[in-house]
């Protein structure tokens, strides 16, 4: 076993280099930390330099080998710089975790305005597609690798108040299936996780008030919200050799919430 509730002792990712987008707080930060604890060299990124600096400082204090790069995933020059800096620092890339997402629209899907719809799909779907496409040369140089998209249970069971966001997360399932099939013979695995309701700043609309939290908990058979670290272990498994025969899958971690279309 690699972990206990609060302790991780494992080197199954030793020698691997991981790039994790939107990894300065919440689920992304937890993933970056977990991969580092399991032996990977990790490149953390975010749109704001102060957030990158703070995350790197925290992870370095934990004794992890990390490097920070400012990256707005919708900008081609930022994505290129992210990969260039990873290769410059660590010599290559083995793992991509595409975690960046936005949600500027709260409400039913057909109430979403065009500008918000475009922004959601530019970041949540298009940027994930481009990040995966642009990392391929680096993975091929290493003889293979692993890509994980961070989706949501909302992609399987849409949240009414997060309509457009839910649709964007469904799109990541299709991207996972298509890309995994295309890359299966190249030792490049592509998988996706679908977290349930996780206690993060990003999902605060679903749990910040007592009434919202109570309503959310009624949908979760385990009757509690997830912690970010509970998603990080799932990703660490998927990018490790323990999952060497798993590709094209959507792994749901949602406390028992309904999880199939």
- Residue 222 corresponds to which tokens in the numbers above? 């385990």
Q: Could you tell me if residue 43 is inside a domain? A: yes
Q: Could you tell me if residue 4 is inside a domain? A: no
Average pLDDT in the chain: 93
- Asked if residues 169 and 124 have their Cβ atoms less than 8 Å apart, the reply is yes
Question: DSSP state, 147?
Answer: E
Q: Could you tell me if residue 159 is inside a domain? A: yes
Assign residue 170 the CATH number of its domain: 3.40.50.720
Residue pLDDT, tens place only, 207-253: 666 777 777 788 889 989 899 999 999 999 999 999 999 999 999 99
Q: Could you tell me if residue 132 is inside a domain? A: yes
Over residues 151-159, the mean pLDDT reads: 94
pLDDT tier, 4 (very low <50, low <70, confident <90, very high otherwise): very low
Domain that holds residue 63: 17-253
Catalytic choice (83, 90, 165, 245): 165
Q: In what order do the strands lie in the sheet containing 17-20?
A: 66-70, 41-46, 17-20, 95-98, 145-150, 188-195, 250-253
Q: Can you give the pLDDT at residue 206? A: 61
Count how many domains the chain has.
1
Q: Could you tell me if residue 167 is inside a domain? A: yes
Does position 5 have pLDDT exceeding 60, yes or no? no
CB environment 200-211: b (16+ within 10 A), e (fewer):
beebeebbeeee
Give yes or no: 165 in active site: yes
Q: Could you tell me if residue 205 is inside a domain? A: yes
Phi, psi of 189 (to 5 degrees): -100, 140
Percentage of residues of the chain with pLDDT beyond 70: 93
Mapping DSSP to helix (H, G, I), strand (E, B) and coil, where does residue 110 land? helix
Residue pLDDT, tens place only, 167-211: 999 999 999 999 999 999 999 999 999 999 998 876 666 666 677
Q: Which residues fall within 8 angstroms of residue 72, CB to CB, at 6 or more apart?
A: 47, 78
Strands 145-150 and 95-98: parallel
Question: DSSP state, 242?
Answer: G
């Amino acid at each position: 076993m690699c972990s206990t509730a609060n302790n991780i002792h494992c080197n199954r990712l030793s020698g691997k280099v991981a790039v994790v987008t939107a990894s300065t707080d919440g689920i992304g930060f937890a993933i970056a930390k977990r991969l580092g604890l399991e032996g990977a060299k990790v490149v953390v990124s975010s749109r704001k330099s102060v957030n990158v600096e703070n995350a790197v400082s925290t992870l370095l204090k934990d004794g992890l080998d990390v490097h920070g790069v400012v990256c707005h995933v919708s900008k081609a020059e930022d994505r290129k710089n992210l990969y260039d800096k990873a290769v410059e620092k660590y010599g290559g890339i083995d793992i991509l975790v595409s975690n960046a997402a936005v949600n500027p629209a709260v409400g039913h899907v057909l109430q979403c305005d065009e500008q918000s719809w475009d922004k959601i799909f530019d970041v949540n779907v298009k940027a994930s597609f481009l990040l995966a496409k642009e990392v391929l040369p680096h993975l091929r140089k290493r003889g293979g690798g692993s890509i994980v998209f961070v989706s949501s249970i909302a992609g399987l069971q849409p949240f009414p108040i997060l309509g457009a966001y839910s649709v964007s997360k469904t799109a990541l399932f299709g991207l996972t299936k298509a890309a995994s099939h295309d890359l299966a013979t190249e030792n490049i695995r592509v998988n996706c996780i679908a977290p349930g309701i996780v206690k993060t700043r990003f999902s605060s609309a679903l749990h910040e008030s007592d009434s919202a939290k109570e309503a959310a908990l009624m949908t979760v058979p385990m009757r509690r919200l997830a912690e970010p670290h509970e998603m990080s272990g799932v990703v660490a498994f998927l990018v490790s050799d323990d999952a060497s025969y798993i590709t094209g899958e959507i792994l749901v971690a949602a406390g028992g919430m309904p999880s199939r279309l």
